[in-house]
Structure 1
Amino acid sequence: MNRDMLYDETEETKTRYVGFIGEHKRYDLALTQTDRFYGKTLVIDIQSGRSAIIGPDDLEEEGYLAHAFNLTEDEAVELHRFLSEIIF
């Protein structure tokens, strides 16, 4: 089979699993640190399977978390508060 490979790399990463209950929902996240995304964190919502590559600049973009993780505005505020503590 012919395929045009764009990349095929293996890298050591650091992953933190976090679960917490906010005022509006439960959050189960996997936060992966890697050199691949220019210092940004790969955030995966384990419950929904949604993911986003997030850095400090993304946290400041209005509506980004709500859109990326299909959250209400209140849920996005909760997630923003948490991620702001660990992503810098």
Structure 2
Amino acid sequence: MEMYEQLYDETERVNVRFIGITTENVRYDFGIMYTNMFFGKPLITCMQTGRSFLMCAEDAKDIEHLRKVFKLTDHKEAEAISEFLAVTLPYTSLEVQYNE
């Protein structure tokens, strides 16, 4: 008896960019995977926490979203990460189709 329904199974060669940055107090290391999946949004992995999430430049400008994703308590840290990601990530005009 099959307990699941497979939605997709894709293989793709992707570009991955590794970037390390530092703010006044914290170092961040990111892996950014550029893919044709996920409506054009790159998959970002924080190397320190192992968390992965989809994000584009528009999403990066939402400070409260960044604080939630990175679990940041310092607003200044969130602003620094927002500034970095907003200039690093591509823009996309597509609406998010996943709920958090």
TM-score by length of 1: 0.86
Q: Cα RMSD over matched residues? A: 1.6
Unaligned runs of 5+ in 1: none
Unaligned runs of 5+ in 2: 91-100
Question: Any conservation in 1 of the 2:57–2:85 contact (CA below 8 Å)?
Answer: no
Question: Any conservation in 1 of the 2:57–2:88 contact (CA below 8 Å)?
Answer: no
Report the Cα offset of residue 76 of structure 1.
1.3
Report the Cα offset of residue 69 of structure 1.
1.3
Decide which structure has greater strand share.
1
Matches of residues 1-88 of structure 1 in structure 2 within 5 Å?
A: 2=2, 3-72=4-73, 73-88=75-90
Total equivalences in the alignment: 88
Report the Cα offset of residue 40 of structure 1.
1.3
Moved beyond 4 Å, runs of 4+:
none
**Which amino acid in structure 2 is aligned with residue 52 of structure 1?**
F
TM-score by length of 2: 0.77
Report the Cα offset of residue 56 of structure 1.
2.3
3-state SS of the aligned residue for 2:40?
Answer: coil
Mapped to 2, the partners of 1:35 and 1:4 lie a distance apart of 22
